[in-house]
Amino acid sequence: MKINLANIKKAKKLLNKSECIAIPTETVYGLAGNAYSNSACKKIFKLKKRPKNNPLIVHYFSEKVLKRDCIYNYDFLKLYKKFCPGPITFILDLKKSSKISKIATNKKNSLAVRFPKHPITRNLLKKLDFPLAAPSANLSSKVSAVSSKDVVEDFGGKIKFVLEGGKSSIGIESTIIDLRNKPKILRLGGLEISTIQKVLKKKIRINNNSSKISFPGQSRLHYSPGIPVRLNVKKVKNEEAYVLIKKKKKIKSNYFFLTKNGNLKIAAKNLYSTLRKIKKKKYKSIAVCKIPNKGLGRTINDRLLRAAKF
Ligand code: TXA
Ligand code: MG
């Protein structure tokens, strides 16, 4: 992808003034601000209508820069070397000397950190003197944005600048792993658990006990397209939009296909844009076929289950 340096310059200028902008990442677009600045972090919460007790994820250029703010172990280094930059977020302990805004962390002593792979955002991060707090660039509890158009749809002119980066190549949020004690997955995401397991060579726990939710972002009512969603549907009603994993021979106008051939990575990439498309066509409800619960299919099912709680 060609990098427009004038755009990067503009982004840098705004971020230096503690303004918020949208940035592209390979997972989803982020609503970014200086993670060391209280005023920038306050703006992010306000724009997203995000509850104050839901801390912000922070984006770094490299592990070398992260050293200023976080303490980490050998498990982190193994995963970092293998998967970063990429779609994995680590929960780590904050250093006492860290300059991360207390607004961003909600005064907790842990931090969610990620190293995005998108070349435009990497170029920007390299040029900044601070890391970027950047939760997904959508209104709180709604479907994430995978293009600059999606961001503008949610925020209109309220965001000063959207750094254009095309459609997100993964299209679903990062996998979150808590590495402070025994590795534990807090959110399924764009990186498959089996690949993480192969590198760590130890058992990884998955936090799927929804009664013990510690952060709203892992709560049930999330990723909602704003209309009811039914799952594992074989018989669709005429007035419903029907989401299918792969193309069928018999096509009806209310059918929406995630892929041509059923590839789960492609299905994950197209999930949010398909839900947004359906909403725009003014359907009042969505029915989804059964999605295989393996690989990225697990992440898709996780998001759909939450969307169905609407
Ligand atoms: O792919 C992604 O992770 C995207 C891109 C923009 O990087 N970001 C993203 O941010 O999905 P957000 O804020 O929508 O989701 C981050 C999740 C939230 O559910 C939040 O509750 C959780 O991370 N989180 C943040 N800080 C945490 C912490 N210290 N401990 C546990 N969970 C944390
Ligand atoms: Mg989000």
* Residue at token pair 């690949």: 195
Residues in the chain: 310
Residue 157 zone, left/alpha/beta (φ > 0; ψ -120 to 50; rest): alpha
Residue 90, C-beta contacts closer than 8 angstroms, at least 6 positions apart? 72, 76, 79, 112, 113, 114, 176, 177, 178, 179
Query: Are the beta carbons of 175 and 302 closer than 8 angstroms?
Result: no
**Which letter does DSSP use for residue 206 in this model?**
E
Under DSSP, is residue 186 helix (H, G, I), strand (E, B) or coil?
A: strand
Query: Are the beta carbons of 154 and 142 closer than 8 angstroms?
Result: yes
Main-chain phi, psi angles of 229, to 5 degrees:
-125, 130
Closest C-alpha to ligand 1, atom 22: 217
pLDDT at 140: 87
Question: What's the rounded Cα separation, in Å, for the pair 54 and 214?
Answer: 9
pLDDT at 213: 45
Question: What's the rounded Cα separation, in Å, for the pair 298 and 112?
Answer: 22
Tell which residue, 77, 17, 27, has the closest CA to residue 57. 27
Q: Which ligand is nearest to the CA of 100?
A: 1
Q: What is the pLDDT of residues 89-148, one digit of tens each?
A: 999 999 999 999 999 999 999 999 999 999 999 999 999 999 999 999 999 888 999 999
| Residues contacting ligand 1 via CB (< 6 Å) | 25, 27-28, 30, 54-55, 57, 89, 91, 108, 110-112, 114, 116, 134-136, 173-174, 176, 186, 215, 217-218
Main-chain phi, psi angles of 274, to 5 degrees:
-65, -45
Tell how far the Cα of 142 is from the centroid of ligand 1, in angstroms. 14
Main-chain phi, psi angles of 20, to 5 degrees:
-100, 140
pLDDT at 128: 98
> Which atom of ligand 1 is least distant from the CA of 216?
21
Query: Are the beta carbons of 283 and 240 closer than 8 angstroms?
Result: yes
Angle between the N-to-C axes of helices 264-280 and 296-307, in degrees from 0 to 180, rounded to the nearest 10: 20
Q: In whole numbers, what is the pLDDT of the chain averaged over residues?
A: 94
Query: Are the beta carbons of 100 and 7 closer than 8 angstroms?
Result: no
Tell how far the Cα of 144 is from the centroid of ligand 2, in angstroms. 6
Mutate to test the pocket of ligand 1, among 25, 89, 90 (most ligand atoms within 8 A of CB): 89
Rounded to two decimals, what is the model's pTM?
0.96
Q: Which ligand is nearest to the CA of 114?
A: 1
Sequential pLDDT tens for the chain (310 residues)? 889 999 999 999 999 999 999 999 999 999 999 999 999 999 999 999 999 999 999 999 999 999 999 999 999 999 999 999 999 999 999 999 999 999 999 999 999 999 999 999 999 999 999 999 999 999 988 899 999 999 999 999 999 999 999 999 999 999 999 999 999 999 999 999 999 999 999 889 998 654 444 554 555 557 888 899 999 999 999 999 999 999 988 889 999 999 999 999 999 999 999 999 999 999 999 999 999 999 999 999 999 999 998 6
pLDDT at 153: 94
pLDDT at 215: 54
Tell how far the Cα of 9 is from the centroid of ligand 2, in angstroms. 27
Closest C-alpha to ligand 1, atom 18: 217
Q: Which two tokens stand for residue 154?
A: 């949610």
